Amino acid sequence: MTSPFPTLPAKLHSLVRAFLDTPDAVAETLTRYGSPAHLIFPQVYSENLATLRAELDSRLPRHRICYAHKVNQARAFVRTAEHAGIAIDVASPYEFARAVGAGFTPTRIEVTGPKGEAFLRDLVGCGATVNVDNLWELRRIIELAEESARVPVLLRVSGFDAGQVSRFGVPLAHLPQAFDLLSTQRSRITFLGFAFHLDSGDLGERVRAIDACLAAVERAYDWGLAPSVLDIGGGFRQVFTADAERFDAYVLALRESLLGRGEPMSWSSNTFGYHIAGGAVHGTPVFHKYANTVPASGMLADLLDAPLERHGGRTVANVVGENLLELWLEPGKALVDHAGVTVATVEFVKELADGTVLVNVDLSRDSVTPADQEVMVDPIVLPGAGGEPAPAGCPTASHAIAESGPVGVYFAGRLCLERDLITNHKVWLPERPRPGDLVVFPNTAAYHMDLSAASASMHPLTAKLAVSRHSSGFQVVGDTDYEPHVPADLPPRPVVPHSPRRPPRPVRPAEAP
């Protein structure tokens, strides 16, 4: 059924859809564990991992996937990653401890991001790979490391496109200083290779970064160094929308409304990053990622198959393979795409002086929205048990409203802050929700749950529950109680040992240092 109103239908994984469609499954989960709740689907994570692996396996024999822990704090995902035999990328002592607690040996842990003195002290000599962000960090590791510590180190580099400045990584122009240190401190440091991480979805930018790293590999040989790893980071995209045309139609209607045409569609004076001037809407909205239709696996395939001009048009996968480099990846959002939803309960529905309808839920914006973004997929309302009246003593509750038919609403959070709106754009629902109805926010596992979540007004952080499907039906457990189960026909992969040092086959012959 196509809606006569602008809508933003969410793509849902079939397993998540099946759980939401199981009569009373969501309601019983909230009755047992409380509302609101984040529901994690580790089996969807496993499927995402298998899809990425298949792209790598078919092109490159040597690769390593490091799950970027910062995308979600759930232990269930960390356990699933450990069980699947991949590595993990941690960015704090807390994530490091979580990884070790979930069974990762340090040789399967890579540490990225800015690291302070105390963290570095813990890292040298523990066996984990340090993805070095800057020259201070490299010098400090050398000072802290024992004479024969051989700390495995990746060097993060940045500044591939002219005029593009990143706060992370060693600028390409500063590499000689790093090479001097690396070549004279071989007993303290084992130089594995180069790393980068780009947040952009642009293929060309990534290809240029890979090309620059390959050139850096060649330069490193001049110092007698033998890099064997190329770490291309994360940034592989998610697909949120189930219908790109309806998404575009919604955005068109929203832009019209910002020009004062048609029904108002934005709360307060929000323009979503658009700039309105001269009777037109300009710029890129903050929510552009919700329009993406290329899945992470497609992005990865395009990258591996991209031709490298400097290498006679051979593909990235070919050149990396021929030079015996091991390709490392640090996917975060690509692994948790569709592997989580957030469920809240409608407390009351109220009407404002201008007729605006607010649906208040028992959740705040920061628990379902990453930082300042606007989430452009429609929440799904599941009718509650019998439409309970609004809580007594709430002067703004309006349970007299009982119209039927489609309605445009804004979802409002539970904090006493004007800005605690969960949607700043209007959402059309088939009918007006009632107190006790359940609201499902789709695809929240990547950054939506944890990146900004605070405990304002002393509300505790929203609980995480792991949902898995078994032959007997769905099972829900607390996040920390989840254990991956082994399907009888699918043994877990053997743990990949840390890449051994091996003689390089230089891109061009190494000169004596």
Which residues make up the interface to ligand PLP (CB under 6 A)?
68, 70-71, 89, 112-113, 197, 233-236, 330-334
Report phi then psi at 48, rounded to 5: -60, -40
Is the CB of 439 or the CB of 446 nearer to ligand PLP?
Answer: 446
The least CB distance from residue 443 to ligand PLP, in Å, is: 13
User: Measured from the CB atom, is 160 or 411 closer to ligand PLP?
Assistant: 160
Task: Single out the residue of 376, 447, 498, 434 nearest to residue 105, CA to CA.
Answer: 498
- State the DSSP H helix or E strand holding residue 138, giving kind and residue range, or none if neither: helix 135-144
Residue (236 or 441) nearer to ligand PLP, CB? 236
Least gap, CB of 168 to ligand PLP (angstroms): 7
Cβ contact 337:324 at 8 Å: no
CB of 231 to ligand PLP, least distance (A): 9
CB atoms under 10 Å from CB of 67, counted, come to: 31
| Helix/strand/coil percentages in the chain, nearest 5 | 30, 20, 50
The residue among 331 and 435 lying less far from ligand PLP, judged by its C-beta, is 331
Q: Name which of 192 and 439 has its Cβ closer to ligand PLP.
A: 192
Nearer to ligand PLP, 185 or 443 (CB): 443
Instruction: Count how many Cα atoms sit within 13 Å of the Cα of residue 234 in the half-sphere of its side chain.
Output: 22
Nearest-angstrom CA–CA distance, 312 and 318: 11
User: Do the Cβ atoms of 68 and 330 come closer than 8 Å?
Assistant: yes
**Closest distance to ligand PLP from the beta carbon of 296 (Å):** 8
* Closer by beta carbon to ligand PLP, 115 or else 255: 115
**What is the nearest approach in angstroms of ligand PLP to the Cβ of residue 334?**
6
Neighbours of 114 (CB within 10 A): 12
Q: Minimum Å distance from CB 463 to ligand PLP? A: 23
Q: How far is the CB of 158 from ligand PLP (least distance, A)?
A: 11
Q: How far is the CB of 194 from ligand PLP (least distance, A)?
A: 13
Q: Judge contact between 160 and 121, C-beta under 8 A.
A: no
The three-state secondary structure class of 464 is: strand
Contact between 366 and 453 under an 8 Å Cβ cutoff? The reply is yes
Q: Which is nearer to ligand PLP, 106 or 235 (CB)?
A: 235
| 269-274 own/partner pairs: CB under 8 Å, 24+ apart | 270/374, 270/424, 270/425, 272/374, 272/424, 272/425
